[in-house]
């Protein structure tokens, strides 16, 4: 949670003059997201979301992210819809940062994930995959299998301080995953970060998906595998088959998986667990314990990784 860049009333007025959404009635920095500065903007026309992109987002990726949100919302996906200025642009500078306004989505993220959330998430993910099919821009997944070893190299020397034997175990994982990672699965645009804080519910119905700043092109089934990790483990780190079944069945009602995708899911889930383990490990090692950003325990994902490693087919998940 953070607001890194301050926006003055005068800067905001100049910025908003480029748009047709009325004058600012209020601007509140929101404690949401660790990558960007986010503001809730109220104008005479309603509520909007204002994002200033901080240094972890490459400005070259913004046309992809905002173009994707345009594309998806035009196809009925409830995601933030970029507001374009009178010049047609959705991104312009504000307080020295590239910035964009989007619509404001209603809903609350579920804090405790229940089975009833998992079906709607599976269905929304499949709808996202279908809606993204004819999106023409491309952004490779920097955090897929090819990116994991360089990421690990940045943490290797201190990995064993986090857990004894961790460096060696991850080394072995990388060897296996690099050798066996599937290359011929159906690909498309994936969300790549569909955790519970990026999904809104309203009156027990899924009301929106947010945070497309990891979206990229990759195997669609890899997104399902990420959701297995994000939605189907309990706080005690046990795997909840009922949740996974609800998620997968709802996904397949919208977009049935091919046989190769179903077969690959345990390995993809193992890779997804490693991906989040590696970024968390990197942040754990490189973020001071008393820093503004709260560090997330990387070892949670070691438990998940080992669980997936022991599964050789969906039957081993009870699916």
Q: Does 203 bind a second copy (CB under 8 A)?
A: yes
Among 35, 70, 104, 283, binds a second copy (CB under 8 A): 104
d(CA 60, CA 63): 7
Between 54 and 252, name the residue whose CB sits nearer to a second copy: 54
Q: Does 235 bind a second copy (CB under 8 A)?
A: no
Q: In the range 236-295, which residues lie near a second copy by CB under 8 A? A: 288, 290-292
How do beta strands 46-52 and 37-43 pair? antiparallel
Residue among 12, 97, 3, 87 at smallest CA distance from 48: 12
Q: How far is the CB of 293 from a second copy (least distance, A)?
A: 10
Helix (H) / strand (E) containing 209: strand 205-209
Token pair 């374009």 in the structure block, residue? 84
d(CA 286, CA 189): 30
Q: E-assigned strands of 31-144?
A: 37-43, 46-52, 92-94, 97-103
Between 56 and 203, name the residue whose CB sits nearer to a second copy: 203
Among 56, 112, 183, 205, binds a second copy (CB under 8 A): 112
Q: Does 111 bind a second copy (CB under 8 A)?
A: yes
Stretch that binds a second copy, among 102-110, 233-241, 279-287, 309-317 (CB under 8 A): 102-110
Q: Would you say 270 and 177 are in contact if contact means Cβ atoms under 8 Å apart?
A: yes
> What torsion, rounded to 10 degrees, do the Cα atoms 115, 130, 266, 312 define?
110
**Contact string (CB under 8 A) for a second copy, positions 142-181, x = contact:** ----------------------------------------
Residue among 1, 47, 97 at smallest CA distance from 292: 1
Q: How far is the CB of 111 from a second copy (least distance, A)?
A: 4
Please give the size of the binding site for a second copy, defined by CB under 8 A: 38
- Return residues touching a second copy (CB under 8 A): 1-3, 6, 8-10, 12, 23-32, 40, 42, 47, 104-112, 200-203, 288, 290-292
């Amino acid at each position: 949670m953070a607001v890194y860049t301050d926006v003055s009333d005068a800067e905001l007025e100049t910025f908003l003059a480029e748009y047709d959404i009325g004058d600012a009635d209020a601007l509140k920095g929101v404690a949401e997201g660790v990558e960007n500065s986010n503001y809730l903007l109220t104008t005479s026309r309603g509520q909007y979301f204002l994002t200033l992109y901080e240094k972890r987002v490459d400005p070259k990726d913004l046309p992809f992210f905002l173009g994707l949100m345009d594309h998806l919302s035009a196809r009925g996906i409830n995601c933030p819809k970029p507001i374009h200025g009178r010049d047609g642009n959705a991104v312009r500078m504000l307080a020295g940062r590239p910035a964009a306004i989007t619509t404001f989505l209603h809903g609350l993220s579920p804090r405790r994930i229940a089975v009833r959330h998992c079906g709607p998430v599976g269905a929304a993910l499949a709808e996202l995959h279908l809606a993204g099919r004819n999106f023409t821009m491309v952004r490779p997944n920097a955090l897929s299998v090819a990116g994991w070893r360089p990421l690990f190299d940045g943490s290797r020397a201190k990995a064993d301080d986090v857990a004894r034997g961790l460096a060696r175990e991850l080394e072995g994982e990388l060897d296996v995953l690099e050798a066996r990672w599937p290359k011929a699965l159906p690909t498309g645009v994936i969300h790549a970060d569909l955790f519970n804080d990026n999904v809104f519910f309203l009156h027990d119905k899924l009301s929106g998906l947010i945070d497309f700043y990891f979206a990229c092109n990759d195997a669609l089934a890899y997104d399902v595998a990420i959701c297995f990790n994000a939605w189907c483990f309990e706080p005690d780190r046990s795997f909840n088959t009922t949740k996974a079944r609800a998620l997968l069945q709802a996904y397949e009602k919208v977009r049935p998986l091919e046989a190769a995708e179903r077969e690959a899911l345990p390995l993809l889930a193992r890779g997804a667990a490693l991906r989040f383990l590696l970024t968390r490990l990197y942040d754990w090692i490189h973020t001071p314990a008393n820093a503004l950003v709260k560090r997330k325990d990387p070892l949670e994902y070691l438990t998940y990784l080992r669980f997936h490693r022991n599964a050789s087919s969906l039957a081993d998940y009870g699916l």
